[in-house]
Structure 1
Amino acid sequence: MTASHAFVDACAGLLGASHVLTDAHDTEPYLVDWRKRYRGSACAVLLPADTEQVAAIVRLARGHRIAIVPQGGNTGLAGGATPDASGAQAVISLKRLNRVRDIDPHNNTITVEAGVVLAELQARAESAQRLFPLRLAAEGSCTIGGNLSTNAGGTGVLRYGNTRELCVGLEVVTAQGEIWDGLRGLRKDNTGYDLRDLFIGAEGTLGIITAAVMKLHPAPVAKVTALTGLASPHAALDFLSMAQHHAAALLTGFELMSEFSMRLVGRHFPQLHYPFGQPHAQTVLLELSDSESDEHARALFERLMEEALEKGIVEDAVVAENLAQSQAFWDLREHIPLAQAEEGLNIKHDIAVPISSIGRFIDETDAIIAKAVPGVRMVTFGHLGDGNLHHNVQAPEGLDAKQFLAEFQTPINELVYDQVHRHRGSISAEHGLGQLKVDEAMHYKSPVEVRLMQSIKAALDPDNLMNPGKVVRWNATPVKENAT
C-alpha cells in the first residue's frame, strides 16, 4: 500500500468515509481555482468538522509525508488554494468549520471559525448592531479563513485597514499538528513575537488558521455615496487629499475607475447606468459613513464638493438619493472585473505603490505598454485611498485574446513589475502570491528578505508539507548563512 493510500484510509477512519472525497466528480470543484487558471490533482479532498480533526489530519499527513493544501471558499485569484498536478497532495477544505463561536458587543469582537462565509459574518455583526467592514466582490462565497490567509483588502481599507488590522486573535493548527489557541481578543498584548501577524497573509504555508477573533465597529447611522468625474488620476489624488481634510475618518470609500473601465461595464452590462452625460477620463466613487446623521453627512459632502468644483478639481458629481442608487453606483465598480471577463482574456495586475506615486505610475506605465504593444486597452481601477491599483491590460480590438496572452503576458508583466519596483511598490496588494507570483516575488524582494522568509518557513514547517510551492520558494534544504 502506498503512503497516499494509507493516509487516505486513515483519514476515512478519522472523519468518516463521506467526508473523504476521492471520486473525480466530487473532487473537481476543489481542484480548479476561481479564474480557472490552475488545475491540480489530489489524493483526496478532506472535510474536517472541527479544529481537533484538522490537527489530527496534519499529524497523519506528517507521519505519511503527505503535503496538504488548505482551502476556504476557493475564490482566490493567485492559485494559492490549488494543489499541484502530482496527485500526491491532499486538499483540506475548511468549509465545515462554519460556526460563530461568540459575539462580544462590549469588546466589539466576534469569534468565528475559518469556514464562516464573509457575508454571514457581516450579517451576524449587523444583528448585534455592529459593523464588520471587510467588503469584497466574493463576499457571498469567500470565507474568513481565506481572507486572513491572503490578508484580503477590499473597499474599506482606507478607513478600517486590511484583514490583518481587523483581527485581534487566531487559532492555528501548526505544521506539527499542534493547536495554538491565540483567541484572546486583546487590543494590547506586548508579550513577545506577534505570532498572529505571522500566520495572517501566509496562505497556509506556515500553519492552518481554524478560527479568529475579529474586530467589530459601531454601525454607521448614515452613508453618503457619490460619483464624481475628473480629468486625470492626478486630479483624483488632489480630490482624495481634499476629501480626507474635510471628512477625516468619515471617508470610508474612494475608488478610482478609468474611462475604459466604465465603457466596458456599459458595453456588457447596459442595465447599469453611468450617470454622467459625457465620459470622464477618471471616475471616483466616494463614500462617507457618519455616526451622527444623514443631514450631517450630506452637509459635509456638500462643502467638500463646493470647494472641489470651485477649484476645478472635480468636473461633475452626482449623489445617491437612496439606498438603491447607492448600490447602483457600487455595482458599476464591482462589475468591472465581470465586464473584463466578458470582453475576453486579459493580463491582470494587483499592485500597490505609494499613493502619491499613482498618477505618475499610471502615466508612465500606460505609455510604456502602449509603445510595446500598440492598441492595447488599459483597464485601470482600484482603491486609490490605500494605493492599491488593478492595472489590467486588455488585448487590442480584433486580436485573438489567447494569442495576446501567449505572446505578451510575460513581457508585459515584466514591464509592469519593473515599474512597480522602481516606484517602491508591491506586485501583490491584496490577492496574495499563491503560485501565480511566487517566482516574481523571489526576484523583486531583496536577498535578505528572501532569506528571512525562507528561515521562517524552515523553522515552522521543516518538512515543507504546508502548501508547498506557494508564497516562498524553499525545498526543505536547511538554510545556511553565506561564508564570510
Structure 2
Amino acid sequence: MTPQQTRLLDALATLLPARAIVTDRDLIAPWETDWRGRWHGVSPILLEPGSVAEVQAIVAAAARECVPLVAQGGNTSMVGGATPPASGEGVILSLRRLNRIRSVDPDAGLAIAEAGVILADLHAAAADHGRRFPLTLGSRGSATIGGLVSTNAGGTQVLRWGTMRGLVAGVEAVLADGSLYEGLAALKKDNRGYDLNQLLIGAEGTLGIVTAATLRLAPAIHARTVAWIGLATPDAALRLLRRFEAAGNAVESFELLPDESLKAVLTHIPDTRAPLAGEHPWHVLVEAVSSDPAAPAPAAFVERVLETALADGIVSDATIAASETQAEAFWRIRDSISDAERATGPAAQHDISVPVEAMPRFLIEAAAACDARFPGTRASGFGHLGDGNVHFHVRAPAGADRAQWLAEEAPGVTRFVDDLVVAAGGSISAEHGIGQMKLHELERLSPPPRMAALRAIKRALDPAGIFNPGKLVALAPGGAGE
C-alpha cells in the first residue's frame, strides 16, 4: 500500500461505515481481473459506498491524496476498462451497493436507476409497470446501469432504439472534486451550452463517477415474431433489411452470421440444432415486435416481406419460430457464437463498425485480406447489420499455442484489421469501448485534432487524472498530455 493510499484509508475510516472499506485480499482478488481473464491489476483497497454522499466523500478524499479510482459495476468490460492498474497505485470503487431503482413512471416512460442496478433487474421492474427497457445483451444478469452508461452500450435492439446515448435522458455523477452533477431531469430541450450528460455517456469512467441515470422506457411487447433466414451473400441480407425497413418499423433486431459461425455453435454448444435444412452460406436472425394489441400481428408483416423476398431470389429459405421456445432456441444460437468460437481455439477478436452500406463488402473483402496476409488463419465476421457493427474474428492456425499466438501474432493481426476498418471509414470500437485494450490503437489511428480534444476534455474535468487511469485517453501523471 502506498503512503497516499494509507492516508486515504485513514481519512475514509472516519467518513464511511466499516462495511464500505474492504482490505481483505481474498475478497478483492476476484475484482482485479477482467471477466475474459486477459487483464490483471492490483488494488489493496476495495471501496463499496452505499450512497451517493459516500461516493462524494471517497472522491473528495482521493482527490486530496491523488489516489486513482477505478469505478466498477459488474466487471463485464470486454476491453479491460474496469481493471485496476497493475502498479497497485489505484483503488477499486465498486458501485454495486448503489442498486436502488429510485422510480418508474410508466406514463412518462422513464425510470431512474442507480449505477449498481443490474440490467436484468431493471427489465423486471419495468415489466412490473407494463413497460420495458429496450436494451439487452448477453451479460444482462451481471452488467450494471453505471457500466452501460459509461461504455455507451449497444446490443441487439440498436436498430430500432439506438445505443445508451439514445436511451439515457439524464445523468447524475460525482465529479473530480467530489461535487455532484445533478443532471437527471429529462428535459426535451436544454440549450445551456455543452451537454455534460453526453460527455459522461461513453467516457468509461474517466471524467466522473456515474451514480444514477434517467432511462427511457418503451411500451411492453404484446407480440413478437422471430425468423431464421438462409441466403447466399451479405449483400442479399442488406437488400432484405431495406425491404423490412420500407415495409414498417416493427423490426428491432437484424443479426447476420456466416455459416461457419452456425456450424461452430452446433459443434460446441449442447442442445442446439440448425433452424433450416440444407446449406446456406449466410444466415439472418430477425425479430419483429408489436406493442399495440389492436395492431396486426408482426408474424403477418414478416411473412409478407419474406414471401416477396423468396419470390425475388433474395432469400433462399426461411422459417418463422412456431413458439416462444423455438424463438429462444434461435436466439440461443446467436448468443452462443462467441462461446462456440472460443472453443474452436484462440482468435484475435475485434468489435468494429463500418457504414451500413459498406458492411457486406467489408465482411467478404476483409476476411479474404486477412486469410491472405496471415496464412493458416481463418477470418469471419458476424453482427448487427442494421447498425454496421461487426464482430470480426481472426482465428489462429490449427495447433497454435494459445498464449504464444495471442502475445506474438494477434497484435499484428489487430493492427492490420484496424487499418482495414479505418480505410472503410469505420470505427475500431463499435460498442465495447476503448478501455486499455484499444488505447494505443486509438492514438495510432485517430487524427491529432481528435486526440488533442479528448485530452483537453480529460484535463478539464479530471485535472489530477484520478479517474480510471490508463483507459481511453492516455495522460501523463498530473494530467499532462503524453
- Which TM-score bucket, shorter chain as reference? over 0.9
Please name the residue that 1:41 is paired with.
Answer: 42
Please name the residue that 1:282 is paired with.
Answer: 282
TM-score (norm 1): 0.96
The 1-side partners of 2:14 and 2:322 are apart by: 58
What are the equivalent positions in structure 2 for 1:216-231 lying under 5 Å apart? 216-231=217-232
Determine if contact 1:94/1:115 at 8 Å carries over to the other structure: yes
Matched, 1:433 2:437: no
Q: Which amino acid aligns with 1:10?
A: A
TM-score (norm 2): 0.97
The 2-side partners of 1:196 and 1:300 are apart by: 38
The 1:375/1:278 distance shift into structure 2, 3 A limit, reads farther
The 2-side partners of 1:437 and 1:180 are apart by: 29
Determine if contact 2:465/2:478 at 8 Å carries over to the other structure: no
Please name the residue that 2:13 is paired with.
Answer: 12
Please name the residue that 1:121 is paired with.
Answer: 122
Q: Which amino acid aligns with 2:304?
A: R
Please name the residue that 2:150 is paired with.
Answer: 149
Secondary structure at 1:333 match in 2: helix
Determine if contact 1:260/1:377 at 8 Å carries over to the other structure: no
Please name the residue that 1:3 is paired with.
Answer: 4
Please name the residue that 2:263 is paired with.
Answer: 263
The 1-side partners of 2:479 and 2:257 are apart by: 47
The 1:128/1:317 distance shift into structure 2, 3 A limit, reads same
Secondary structure at 1:348 match in 2: strand
The 2-side partners of 1:278 and 1:414 are apart by: 37
Matched, 1:467 2:468: yes
Secondary structure at 1:307 match in 2: helix
Q: Which amino acid aligns with 1:287?
A: E
The 1-side partners of 2:342 and 2:88 are apart by: 30
Shift of 1:269: 1.1
Secondary structure at 2:36 match in 1: coil
Shift of 1:372: 1.8
Q: Output one character per residue of 1:188-238: Cα deviation in whole Å (capped at 9) or x when no partner.
A: 222221110000000110000000000001112111100001111111111
Q: Which amino acid aligns with 1:265?
A: V
Please name the residue that 1:96 is paired with.
Answer: 97
Shift of 1:400: 2.8
Q: Which amino acid aligns with 1:330?
A: W
Please name the residue that 1:392 is paired with.
Answer: 393
Please name the residue that 2:342 is paired with.
Answer: 341
Secondary structure at 1:112 match in 2: strand
The 1:478/1:136 distance shift into structure 2, 3 A limit, reads closer
The 1-side partners of 2:147 and 2:341 are apart by: 24
What are the equivalent positions in structure 2 for 1:229-268 lying under 5 Å apart? 229-247=230-248, 249-268=249-268
Shift of 1:155: 0.3
Secondary structure at 1:168 match in 2: strand
What are the equivalent positions in structure 2 for 1:291-330 lying under 5 Å apart? 291-293=291-293, 295-330=296-331
Which segment drifts farther, 226-235 or 334-343?
334-343
Shift of 1:17: 2.8
Determine if contact 1:8/1:43 at 8 Å carries over to the other structure: no
Please name the residue that 1:29 is paired with.
Answer: 30
Please name the residue that 1:174 is paired with.
Answer: 175
Q: Output one character per residue of 1:289-333: Cα deviation in whole Å (capped at 9) or x when no partner.
A: 113458531211111001110111111101011111111110000
The 2-side partners of 1:72 and 1:200 are apart by: 15
Shift of 1:477: 6.1
Please name the residue that 1:273 is paired with.
Answer: 273
Matched, 1:201 2:202: yes
Shift of 1:361: 1.0
Q: Output one character per residue of 1:445-480: Cα deviation in whole Å (capped at 9) or x when no partner.
A: 111111111110111111111111110112256769
Determine if contact 1:458/1:476 at 8 Å carries over to the other structure: no
Q: Which amino acid aligns with 2:238?
A: L
Secondary structure at 1:14 match in 2: coil
Determine if contact 2:154/2:163 at 8 Å carries over to the other structure: yes
Which segment drifts farther, 122-131 or 393-402?
393-402
Secondary structure at 1:351 match in 2: strand
Determine if contact 2:367/2:380 at 8 Å carries over to the other structure: no
Determine if contact 1:55/1:178 at 8 Å carries over to the other structure: yes
The 1-side partners of 2:280 and 2:467 are apart by: 47
Q: Which amino acid aligns with 2:257?
A: M
Secondary structure at 2:14 match in 1: helix
The 1:127/1:38 distance shift into structure 2, 3 A limit, reads same
Secondary structure at 2:379 match in 1: strand
Structure 1 vs Structure 2: percent identity of aligned residues?
43
Paired residues, what number?
A: 479
Please name the residue that 1:401 is paired with.
Answer: 402
Q: What is the RMSD computed on CA atoms of the aligned residues?
A: 1.5
Determine if contact 2:85/2:469 at 8 Å carries over to the other structure: no
The 2-side partners of 1:50 and 1:67 are apart by: 20
Please name the residue that 1:57 is paired with.
Answer: 58
Q: Output one character per residue of 1:66-122: Cα deviation in whole Å (capped at 9) or x when no partner.
A: 011000100010111001111111010000000010111221100010000000001
Q: Output one character per residue of 1:248-291: Cα deviation in whole Å (capped at 9) or x when no partner.
A: x2110000111111111111114111111223211100010113
Q: Which amino acid aligns with 2:143?
A: C
The 2-side partners of 1:138 and 1:7 are apart by: 33
Secondary structure at 1:426 match in 2: coil
Q: Which amino acid aligns with 1:169?
A: G
Determine if contact 2:25/2:44 at 8 Å carries over to the other structure: no
Determine if contact 1:455/1:479 at 8 Å carries over to the other structure: no
The 2-side partners of 1:202 and 1:149 are apart by: 5
The 2-side partners of 1:3 and 1:148 are apart by: 30
Structure 2: give runs of 5+ residues left out of the alignment: none
Q: Which amino acid aligns with 1:78?
A: V
Please name the residue that 1:139 is paired with.
Answer: 140
Q: Output one character per residue of 1:420-449: Cα deviation in whole Å (capped at 9) or x when no partner.
A: 100110000000000010111111111111
Please name the residue that 1:350 is paired with.
Answer: 351
Determine if contact 1:268/1:342 at 8 Å carries over to the other structure: yes
Which segment drifts farther, 362-371 or 375-384?
375-384
